[in-house]
Structure 1
Amino acid sequence: MNWDDLHVLAVLQREGSLAGAARALGVNHGTVSRRISALEESLGHKLVRRLARSTPLTDNGREIAEIALDMEQQAHHVERIAHAAQGTMTGRVRVTAPPVLVSEIIIPALRSLRAAHPDLQFVLSANSHLASLDSGEADLAVRMVEPQGRQNVIRRIGSVAFALYATPEIARLPPSQWRFIAFDETLAHVPQQRWLEEFAGDRPLDLMTGDFHSQRAAAEAGLGVALLPCVMAERCPTLVRVVDEHPEPRPVWLVIHTDLKDAPAVRAVADRLIEAIR
């Protein structure tokens, strides 16, 4: 048995499709299919049903995949222990955070850390989805939703303020003529979107996008009024704050896997992020 093939099966179970597993593994669809076929041959059991539009796991496949997922978790545990035991300011530290925090706060904050510790490597994942620390996707996570998980060290480290911004030309229009830039349906649930909808009332939310960088670009292009993080918008010379009203700031949390809380490299990055975000 090739143990790597078990890992492929675990990823297939977690992602739910061959295409999803291929994306997660960074390989093509055919490679995943071949690895599963090799595992089936070595075990002497069919593990997936190859249907026209899906590849559901068989009963045996699901049972073996659950064991493989447990093995994957233990492998990540070994990696974390090894990382923490290094006791040096070298190696790779993986950080995941919302894109706006990565671009506006985290990347500028790492400059001094890089100068002090040139042997450190940083892997930054600018994702809106909540990366799993338990599955090894990241060593540190900065989040704007309250984290969960018993295996993590969680600390609230600051907040992000929001306000309404537009070009001076838009700001000079009567407020009744304002048009608004908002999130699309993928983020319609976030608190600042609900606040914007209430503030806009009957006025149109007629430009929808899924991230703050696109909203800032739309506001700078004069396409409407956008509710933006102040840390981003205050640096834009072409935007002005249009009203004093604003939603409640969003809390920011730092999450560290408990196995890594004393690793010097992880601790140094965490301390720098706490300082920068505070």
Structure 2
Amino acid sequence: MLNWDDLKFFLAVCRAGSIRAAAQSLGVNHATVSRRINNFEASLGERVFDRTQQGYVRTRLGDEIFEEASYLEERLSSIDRKIVGKDENLEGEVRVTMPDLLGQHLLMEGIVAFCRQYPLIDIQISGTVKLLNLANREADVAFRICDTPPEYLIGRRLAYIHRACYIAREFENKLTDSSWLARQKLIGWTDKYQRPIGVLASAYPRFDVQHKISNGDFQLKACESGLGISVLPCLIGDVNESLVRVPPYVTEKKFELWVLSHPDLRKNAKIQAFVRFMTDYVLDKKSLIEGEEYNKNWLA
């Protein structure tokens, strides 16, 4: 008889593509995952993965088991959601997922305030851009930057995330010199996203790109330290006293910020209390997120 714990390890490797990545997603040691997969294959008397240089690739048997195990996982998750969805207690665990930059620069202060108001609720945070599966209860609540959320989830758009061009405040007195400004370098993000397009591209000179930094915190630190001009979310740049916007100070509406949960959990008291609290918290900061605070604070 198949053991559900073995199937969980099997599914994790299927989705991650490697033992190490699966171990990270499960929060266990990679040796544990390797041992469980080897034992699983030994119990079946046949391999479910081919070990290749590209990672673990399912065999034909692995494909068959993956299809059945995925269906079983969904049914078990559905039962779990329905049970959890009836919980009327304002205590226990709420699992939340969000991109780390949102957590650090926007949401954490609100989460701390929520925990003080509801001290019996235990918040578990996963800071990642990975889209965790809310149907399988990898998380209960997701803050996502997206245009179209999955149809199986419920939620609301909280704000549009605006971006602007920033430079270190040490250069503020030079920003009126158009020839100096035109010679400044733009810090790129990746090969694909080296320079802005759309509104920002039309509002500024075509800055040459020098350097690429894909980590948000590193990009911010580089800009603060004077490495060049950086395109940053207004919710980060507008409250940073080490930075100023680059004239003509325009913003670009780039992303949508959503809060999402599964409809089966709409009657769970602690989850809905968290969603309501954080919705109010973010809406109170909507003008900052959408780039309106800079005009009030710096251009008045």
TM-score, normalising length from structure 2? 0.82
* 102-111 or 15-24: bigger deviation: 15-24
Match of 2:181 in 1: 175
Structure 1 gap segments, 5+ residues each: none
Residues 199 and 184 of structure 1: CA distance in aligned 2, closer, same or farther (over 3 Å): farther
* 142-151 or 87-96: bigger deviation: 142-151
1:273 aligns with 2:278: yes
Contact 2:147 2:255 in 1 (8 A): no
Tell me, in whole angstroms, the C-alpha distance in 1 between the residues paired with 2:275 and 2:49. 42
Tell me, in whole angstroms, the C-alpha distance in 1 between the residues paired with 2:243 and 2:108. 23
Match of 1:233 in 2: 237
Tell me, in whole angstroms, the C-alpha distance in 2 between the residues paired with 1:32 and 1:168. 50
Correspondence for 2:225 among 213, 221, 227: 221
Contact 2:94 2:122 in 1 (8 A): yes
Match of 1:119 in 2: 120
Matched residue SS, 1:110: helix
Equivalent positions of 1:15-164 (< 5 A) are 15-51=16-52, 54-164=55-165
Matched residue SS, 1:133: coil
* CA deviations over 1:43-73 (Å, ceiling 9, x no partner): 3333223456643222112101221122222
Tell me, in whole angstroms, the C-alpha distance in 2 between the residues paired with 1:142 and 1:242. 29
Match of 2:256 in 1: 251
Match of 2:294 in 1: none
Letter in 2 for 1:44: G
Matched residue SS, 1:64: helix
Contact 2:89 2:269 in 1 (8 A): yes
* CA deviations over 1:204-260 (Å, ceiling 9, x no partner): 221322233222211110111112222212222121122222212532111111111
Identity %: 28
Letter in 2 for 1:176: A
Tell me, in whole angstroms, the C-alpha distance in 2 between the residues paired with 1:140 and 1:51. 36
Residues 234 and 28 of structure 1: CA distance in aligned 2, closer, same or farther (over 3 Å): same
Structure 2 gap segments, 5+ residues each: 284-300
Match of 2:292 in 1: none
After TM superposition, where is structure 1 displaced by more than 6 Å over at least 4 residues in a row? none
Tell me, in whole angstroms, the C-alpha distance in 1 between the residues paired with 2:225 and 2:63. 51
Matched residue SS, 2:160: strand
Contact 1:147 1:255 in 2 (8 A): no
Matched residue SS, 1:240: strand
Tell me, in whole angstroms, the C-alpha distance in 1 between the residues paired with 2:22 and 2:243. 42
Contact 1:141 1:254 in 2 (8 A): yes
RMSD: 2.4
Tell me, in whole angstroms, the C-alpha distance in 1 between the residues paired with 2:185 and 2:227. 8
Residues 40 and 167 of structure 1: CA distance in aligned 2, closer, same or farther (over 3 Å): closer
Residue 201 of structure 1 and its aligned partner are, at CA, apart by 5.3
Match of 2:293 in 1: none
* CA deviations over 1:96-134 (Å, ceiling 9, x no partner): 122222112211112321122101111222222322212
Residues 193 and 261 of structure 1: CA distance in aligned 2, closer, same or farther (over 3 Å): farther
Match of 1:210 in 2: 214
Residue 19 of structure 1 and its aligned partner are, at CA, apart by 3.0
* CA deviations over 1:121-179 (Å, ceiling 9, x no partner): 11222222322212322111111212432321031111222222212333415211221
Letter in 1 for 2:257: V
Residues 216 and 78 of structure 1: CA distance in aligned 2, closer, same or farther (over 3 Å): same
Matched residue SS, 2:56: coil
TM-score, normalising length from structure 1? 0.88
Residue 266 of structure 1 and its aligned partner are, at CA, apart by 0.9
Contact 1:141 1:255 in 2 (8 A): yes
Tell me, in whole angstroms, the C-alpha distance in 2 between the residues paired with 1:193 and 1:125. 29
Tell me, in whole angstroms, the C-alpha distance in 2 between the residues paired with 1:253 and 1:175. 36
